[in-house]
Amino acid sequence: MRIATWNVNSVGARLPRLLGWLGTARPDVLCLQELKCSGEAFPHAEVAELGYDVACHGSGRWNGVAVLSRVGVEDVTRGLVDEPAYEDARQPRAIGATCGGVRVWSVYVPNGREPGHPHYAYKLAWLEALHATVLAETGGERPFAVLGDFNIAPTDDDVWDVSLFTGATHVTEPERKALAMLRDAGLTDVVPRALKYDRPYTYWDYRQLAFPKNNGMRIDLVYANARFAGAVTDAYVDREERKGKGASDHAPVVVDLAL
């Protein structure tokens, strides 16, 4: 079984690349983030032609998440347990679905902007709601994983130069503590264990030649329970999909499992 996650940074702008990638990589399940479209505007028909069912949670211009599956979509849940609002609105940042017996959550964690900003407090509160959701769903032997753009680099090695992040988000202790809480809940950051190369960045800014210089960050993560993690046979970051005209600033992360 092949399960992937990808922040596409606008499904409308990236549709030709999305359809092409689905046709070549052939994931059984794909978690998408930053759709930047409503559920009604999602390209359901185009994706269905490739054999994928869709569960979507989007409201318009910003945010938005989805789960695409060739192995069925059941028990869809939109939003987290006690999910907080920002500026009086609950943003479409999390969707859960069961696909071929595997429970997945596609998540787009708030950026946080900068420590001290209200969006940073929202980010930490949102991560607490994600933790509560994980605790509510991880019981039993069912394979379970949370995949997506976490907007957190788990370690200093997951950014190209941590000295440049002094006083910035993505590397602060409270954010990393939230990831530690997911690990305490029984989840494992599965991708580094399976990858066969160092510094597997997943995001590179469009500016200052960040991608050619490999000035990247590993912020697109797969956190999974023991049943899922124990079945992982391989994983890779598809850097090729970050290349060329019209690419997202994130690359797909792919995990293969023997289930």
Q: What's the pLDDT tens digit per position in 13-26?
A: 999 999 999 999 99
**Could you give the angle at the alpha carbon of 235 between the alpha carbons of 231 and 238, nearest 5°?**
150
The answer to whether 48 touches 63, Cβ cutoff 8 Å, is: no
What is the Cα–Cα distance from 112 to 197, expressed in whole angstroms? 29
Burial of 25 (0-12, 13-18, 19+ CB in 10 A): middle
Confidence (pLDDT) at 11: 97
> Which residues lie across from 4 on neighbouring strands?
30, 254
Confidence (pLDDT) at 190: 94
Q: Is a pLDDT exceeding 80 seen at residue 31?
A: yes
Confidence (pLDDT) at 139: 81
Confidence (pLDDT) at 61: 78
Domain ranges, residue 188:
2-257
Confidence (pLDDT) at 257: 97
- The number of domains in the chain is 1
Is residue 171 within a helix (H) or strand (E), and if so which, with residue range? Answer: none
The answer to whether 226 touches 197, Cβ cutoff 8 Å, is: no
Binding-site members are 7, 34, 149, 151, 249-250
What mean pLDDT is predicted for residues 32-56? 97
What mean pLDDT is predicted for residues 135-162? 95
Q: CATH code at 135? A: 3.60.10.10
Q: Is 149 a catalytic site residue?
A: yes
Confidence (pLDDT) at 219: 98
Q: Is a pLDDT exceeding 80 seen at residue 32?
A: yes
What mean pLDDT is predicted for residues 178-200? 87
For tokens 């769903």, the residue is 137
Q: Is a pLDDT exceeding 90 seen at residue 195?
A: no
Amino acid at 184: D
Confidence (pLDDT) at 196: 67
Lowest mean pLDDT among 24-38, 85-99, 181-195, 221-235: 181-195
pLDDT grade, residue 34 (50/70/90)?
very high
What mean pLDDT is predicted for residues 65-83? 98
Q: Is a pLDDT exceeding 80 seen at residue 92?
A: yes
What is the Cα–Cα distance from 83 to 88, expressed in whole angstroms? 12
Q: Is a pLDDT exceeding 80 seen at residue 256?
A: yes
Q: Is the pTM of this model over 0.95?
A: yes
Over the chain, what is the mean pLDDT? 95
| 117: CB partners within 8 A, 6+ apart | none
The answer to whether 152 touches 175, Cβ cutoff 8 Å, is: yes
- Which of 57, 131, 170, 250 is an active site residue? 250
| 216: CB partners within 8 A, 6+ apart | 159, 160, 199, 201, 202, 203, 204, 210
Binding-site members for Mg(2+) are 7, 34, 149, 151, 249-250
What tokens appear for 153 in the block? 């680099």
